[in-house]
Amino acid sequence: MFEKLLIANRGEIALRIHRACHEMGIKTVAVHSTADADAMHVRLADESVCIGPPSATHSYLNIANIISAAEVSGADAIHPGYGFLSENAKFAEIVEAHDIAFVGPTPEHIRIMGDKVEAKRTAGAVGLPLVPGSEGAITDLEEAETVAFEIGYPVLVKAASGGGGRGMKVVERPEDLSKSLKAAGQEAKAAFGDDTVYIEKYLGNPRHIEFQVFGDGKGNAIHLGERDCSLQRRHQKVLEEAPSPALNADQRADMGETCRQAIADLGYRGAGTIEFLYEDGRFYFIEMNTRLQVEHPVTEAITGIDLVREQIRVAAGLPLSVTQSEVKFSGHAIECRINAEDPRTFAPSPGLVTQYHAPGGLHVRADSALYDGYTIPPHYDSLISKLIVYGANRNDCLMRLRRALEEYVIEGPKTTIPLHRALIEQPDFINGDYSIKWLEEWLAAQD
């Protein structure tokens, strides 16, 4: 097992990884920007190294400085968390070239899944159901028109390198196709340095359901069930739950097995998430994320399995600690993503936290790097806490979540806690009756 692991991230996820390491007897090295010198992840780690100025480009995305920090501290593994360098194949390659273990998949798998056109081709080849659309990248208007005509409008133009919901354009009518192709290409070029686009059928009212998978890199794989992440704003997840209120045990077992087999066939190593849209009883693959997800704790809650520990075990060449038949699902879990944002306008609200009190009690988990007197820097993502609540069933979980949200005190910055309090009182949500469109429609109706 590793002796010392460098955590190439910040915030709650850096704490999450640190905790798994300490439980496994592994020492941790934190890296931080100058803006994060007082951050909780720096305070908790055994050692810390400053890797640059506040801007992420010069610190948390600075590969040379992170590798130097690992060398100087003698770390034998690097965990990238999520975001930042977690899905950067070049980074994974450089880490391994320095004889440091990368806690994640092989650079090759990261590369394939990072290109959505390639990812769809690969997913199709290992038997995952796809959204109807172009076979590969779209290179000219005529081809686009043919594909769109075949699958039928509305269609979605998507960026091959897309992420975070950017570089997507819905096209309702043939006469708008040319304009949208150009716009999506330009947006993708500006955001990702790659203007490759492809076309998919635009599904009208789907749910977003994703499966958590794990491979040991030697052809053994398991699935840990699904998460329903349909509550989204601007294609970004706001609240996630497991299991999905839309699936029954047979559907879960069937799709889970399809995903498990796909991961085994790929010889995939580490944690992964296979994302699907789900409409009228059918699944459609959209992408695979080759990292730990923000919402992984809901899966931990219903399976009792520590996903970060499994990631580290696999990276160290150990087998997964459970086989598929040993994975047992029980109860229900919901995660609320709490952002330092105005709950109505969603304008970022960084700054001094004058009072912090996290909820507690049975089956309540608040993953956050906040503390009294901490100043949330303006340079990074606005996620400041994840509240994860477990219950014996969905109703029990909702009652406990309501209580936990009541208890949560974050004074100073505005947060999205009031949004979550309101959201979980909505009859549609209580009934589990919502698609990826629901939240935006509900928000629009509040204005």
Give whichever of 202 and 329 is closer to ligand ADP, judged by the CB atom. Answer: 202
Burial class (CB in 10 A: 0-12, 13-18, 19+), 420: buried
Give whichever of 131 and 197 is closer to ligand ADP, judged by the CB atom. Answer: 131
Q: Is 287 a residue that touches ligand ADP (CB under 6 A)?
A: yes
Residues recognised as catalytic: 291
| Closest distance to ligand ADP from the beta carbon of 88 (Å) | 15
Among 12, 36, 87, 200, binds ligand ADP (CB under 6 A): 200
User: What is the crossing angle of helices 107-114 and 116-125, to 10°?
Assistant: 110
Q: Is 268 a residue that touches ligand ADP (CB under 6 A)?
A: no
Pairing state between β 355-357 and 409-411: antiparallel
Integer Cα distance of 377 and 420 in angstroms: 23
- Site pattern 125..144 for ligand ADP (x: CB under 6 A): ------x-------------
Residues 427-446 that bind ligand ADP (CB under 6 A): 436
User: What is the amino acid identity at position 17?
Assistant: I
- Site pattern 137..176 for ligand ADP (x: CB under 6 A): -------------------x-----xxxx-----------
| Closest distance to ligand ADP from the beta carbon of 399 (Å) | 28
Q: What is the DSSP string of 307-346?
A: HHHHHHHHHTTPPPSS-GGG----SEEEEEEEESB-TTT-
Q: Is 272 a residue that touches ligand ADP (CB under 6 A)?
A: no
| Binding region for ligand ADP (CB under 6 A) out of 46-54, 64-72, 104-112, 201-209 | 201-209
Q: Is 235 a residue that touches ligand ADP (CB under 6 A)?
A: yes
Among 59, 134, 232, 416, binds ligand ADP (CB under 6 A): 232
**CA neighbours closer than 13 Å in the CB half-sphere of residue 267:** 4
| Closest distance to ligand ADP from the beta carbon of 210 (Å) | 9
Integer Cα distance of 232 and 243 in angstroms: 17
Integer Cα distance of 219 and 263 in angstroms: 8
Integer Cα distance of 154 and 171 in angstroms: 5
Q: Is 328 a residue that touches ligand ADP (CB under 6 A)?
A: no
Integer Cα distance of 177 and 170 in angstroms: 9
Residues that bind ligand ADP (CB under 6 A): 131, 156, 162-165, 200-203, 206, 208, 232, 235, 275, 277, 286-287, 436
